[in-house]
Amino acid sequence: MAATQEKATPCCLDAVPAKSSALLRKASDPMRDWTVSGSDPSQDPIRNRAAVPTLIRPIETLPATSTNTTAAKGIPVMLRAQTSHPLEPLSAAEISVAVATVRAAGATPEVRDSMRFVEVALVEPDKHVVALADAYFFPPFQPSLLPRTKGGPMIPSKLPPRQARLVVYNKKSNETSICIVELSEVHAATRGGHHRGKVISSKVVPDVQPPMDAMEYAECEAVVKDFPPFREAMKKRGIEDMDLVMVDPWCAGYHSEADAPSRRLAKPLIFCRTESDCPMENGYARPVEGIHVLVDMQNMVVLEFEDRKLVPLPPADPLRNYTPGETRGGVDRSDVKPLQIIQPEGPSFRVNGHFVEWQKWNFRIGFTSKEGLVIYSVAYIDGSRGRRPVAHRLSFVEMVVPYGDPNAPHYRKNAFDAGEDGLGKNAHSLKKGCDCLGYIKYFDAHFTNFTGGVETIENCVCLHEEDHGILWKHQDWRTGLAEVRRSRRLTVSFICTVANYEYGFYWHFYQDGHIEAEVKLTGILSLGALQPGETRKYGTTIAPGLYAPVHQHFFVARMDMAVDSKPGETFNQVVEVNVKVEEPGKNNVHNNAFYAEEKLLKSELQAMRDCNPLSARHWIVRNTRNVNRTGQLTGYKLVPGSNCLPLAGSEAKFLRRAAFLKHNLWVTSYARDEVYPGGEFPNQNPRIGEGLATWVKKNRSLEEADIVLWYVFGVTHIPRLEDWPVMPVERIGFTLMPHGFFNCSTAVDVPPNTCDLDLKDNGMTAKPIQNGLLAKL
């Protein structure tokens, strides 16, 4: 993942005057990593750079002195040992070296040719290594991160070598292996194939299937469309042009021993476009029902095929498409005036590689093919108290989409979109649409494809500021004087497409010290076909012969917390807070009393909890050693948003693999290899309760620990007519909010805005309606 050289997004430029094309940066421009979307070119800071401080700060070079040299305060001064921070995402060169190293280690040419590369990820180092890097190797240098030791810290002259972790599928033997490769800067920078890393370990993982890959999906579609019985079945439905047919290969899941991981299986869903020439035609509007297909993805052959029931294709719905001028069968709205986001002096954030500073916040941006966006080392600079850690690592580690229709094929639609596909690998290049507005810092993401090549998603992560309404306001009714501050937030986001649905994942950082996690759901419904005159109890009829099944979306946020804790410290605990109604009696003679009651969650089994809006339930992560000005322990609280639990019965097959959905909150003591709540390989997983539900059986103490929060949140989707042909964005999420963390509101020192505009004489004022017309004054 790297900073990009992307320019302004074309569709956003359409909303500003033509001369704004001057905002497109030349490749030689030192600020080419920035995109300005919807800004006034006359206010372009590039044209006025003499008055604008540099926004991308160069990395400082350490003095090139001997490692034995001692600084004035007794801290050794080191040679600069490496330029990649330990949490920096793998570069394209590092991925190439890692793949070449593993391939070269293959015992025979047949083994090497059979290697398919599912994932290449950074091996994230121990927390003390990260602390050392941030303290002495990478600016801004933060020696306070390291624990104090008698005689001063012993600082090595270099950090440990970076390592890559590879998930490799052997297409010939149907085996999955995990390999660890040691990298170095020499290896990463060298383009010659004879310079490789070093394989540290390699092991076969039995009884698993790794995630599916886009190359496999494309090959599976071609195999199915070329299968004679399938072509014959489509001919019976009036379709002879296979170019109109869409084959979506879904993972088989695990419903019985027939789905065991001894075979790599897919059970595709079939859709068919009309004969329209529209390049963006909504093919999901015509599902093909009644056809059962089972594909061996290892050998790319159709194992089972059955035309079970002839259901007519739904007629072409005139409202099915979503391209300009075709929505709802009419024309696009023409009465929307341009809305420009202008920051004449540039953004307030600063970026150094993947290190971000904004409004007292600082953190690092990372990315993985499975999770997508990862936020590391989140901290807040709090005046004289300095850098105060909040979390070591934040990410979305899994999502599950179970459908509620018991009929085939919908009962087996239980997608694990992170573990079976990879959220990061399905991410968008955000330059292709108006996904963000304003001054934007983009980051690229690098991945391996199935055959071992390196692919880059340009502009994969978006970093930008947003106005967010009022931060706080008060008006004195006696004097009429008012103070108001506008809220600004820093947003880090990425968007991915998994088959028919789009998911946007956002982390918002606010000036008052709170963090909001948000998921935006949009895209196209996964539909089913109906016989003439038929209706379905388990869905909504949205067009003739077409219905949308009820379903749920669940997301799992993993939060490795570090509230006021240095890396590796075990000084956090979790308290549950419920509001209780006071019993009637002498303490509640007016029957109006209620209070907040706290309960310490002492162990992992005790910490399996659910949301309860009736008691305003929330949870606080506290530091057991730090207190605020009133003597209370400092903390951050997790405030749930709207939420739900699975509506499936307790014996539902998908819950074998997704036992983590049974509770909204889980808390564990940090363990390095406990990352994915359903285990690393949920695809065709026969093991019941693997992952989080198994880890908590250790019942480790949480009274003073290195705390990891797992928050499960979801939405129940009962489709509406208004969700067709595209579903408007639906937002769900939660908040991490300071609770006794700061001694007073951090919003007090936010400066006033000069944002009032006098529009009363701008031709906008209107008289009352006269004769049905709105007349100007």
Which residues make beta-bridge pairs with 446? 456
Q: Hey, what are 458's tokens?
A: 């340009």
Whether 288 and 529 have beta carbons less than 8 Å apart is answered as yes
Q: How far is CA 211 from CA 174, 423, 555, 682, 721, in A?
A: 13, 11, 18, 8, 34
Q: ω before 140 within 30° of 0 (cis)? A: yes
Cβ density class 517-552: b for 16+ within 10 Å, e for less: bbbbbbbbbbbbbbeeeeebebbbebbebbbbbbbb
What would the two tokens of residue 474 be?
Answer: 């008060």
In this structure, the dihedral spanned by the alpha carbons of residues 350, 354, 359 and 362, taken in order and rounded to 10 degrees, is -140
Question: What crossing angle do the helices spanning 214-225 and 228-236 adopt, rounded to 10°?
Answer: 70
pLDDT along the chain (777 residues), means of 10: 44 36 32 44 36 30 34 36 86 94 94 97 96 92 81 79 97 97 72 69 97 97 98 96 95 95 97 84 93 98 96 88 67 84 93 96 98 98 94 98 95 95 95 85 96 96 95 94 94 96 97 97 95 92 94 98 94 98 95 97 98 98 97 98 96 96 98 97 97 98 98 97 93 98 91 65 49 41
Q: Domains in the chain, please, with CATH?
A: 92-146+158-205 (3.10.450.40), 214-318 (3.10.450.40), 349-739 (2.70.98.20)
Q: Is 506 helix (H, G, I), strand (E, B) or coil?
A: strand
The burial of 773, by beta-carbon neighbours within 10 Å (0-12 exposed, 13-18 middle, 19 or more buried), is given as exposed
Structure tokens at 544: 């003739």
| HSE-up (13 A, CA, CB side) for residue 40 | 8
Distance CA 563, CA 739 (A): 11
Longest Cα pair distance anywhere in the chain, in angstroms?
90
- Among 746, 34, 41, 6, CA closest to 350: 34
Residues 6+ apart with CB under 8 A from 67: 76, 77, 78, 79, 157
Taking phi first (over 0 means left), then psi (-120 to 50 degrees means alpha), and beta for anything else, what does residue 691 get? left
Contact, 548 vs 525, CB < 8 A?
yes
Closest CA relative to residue 513, chosen from 750, 749, 742: 742
Residue 81's SS3 state is coil
Q: Which pair of tokens denotes residue 491?
A: 């947003």
Catalytic residues: 417, 501
Q: Residue holding tokens 């039995």?
A: 206
8-state DSSP, 323: S
Place of tokens 């036992």: 659
Calpha distance 294→769 (Å, rounded): 65
3-class secondary structure, 253: coil
The CA distance from 270 to 249, in Å, is: 9
This prediction has a pTM of: 0.88
Which amino acid appears at position 714 of this protein? G
Looking at residue 63, the DSSP 8-state letter turns out to be: P
For residue 18, what is the DSSP state?
Answer: G
* pLDDT score of 45: 36
CA 250, 253, 256, 259 dihedral sign is positive
Helix (H) or strand (E) holding 641: none
Report the pLDDT value the prediction gives residue 284, as an integer from 0 to 100.
93
* Cα–Cα nearest to 222, from 151, 167, 302: 302
Helix (H) or strand (E) holding 12: helix 10-13
Q: Are 692 and 679 contacting, i.e. CB atoms less than 8 angstroms apart?
A: no
Predicted pLDDT at 759 = 52
For residues 520 and 728, is the Cβ–Cβ distance under 8 A? no
Q: What is the pLDDT of residue 327?
A: 56
According to the model, what pLDDT value does residue 65 have? 32
Q: Would you say 330 and 725 are in contact if contact means Cβ atoms under 8 Å apart?
A: no
CB 500 within 8 A of CB 526: yes
Tokens of 665: 């909150």
Instruction: Determine which helix (DSSP H) or strand (DSSP E) holds 509, and give its type and residue range.
Output: strand 501-510
Pair of tokens at residue 166? 């590879």
Measured torsion, CA atoms of residues 201, 207, 210, 212, in degrees rounded to the nearest 10: 150
Q: What are 490's two structure tokens?
A: 């820093």
- Going by the DSSP 8-state scheme, the letter that residue 632 receives in this structure is P
Place of tokens 């909040």: 390
> Dihedrals φ, ψ of 328, to 5°?
55, 25
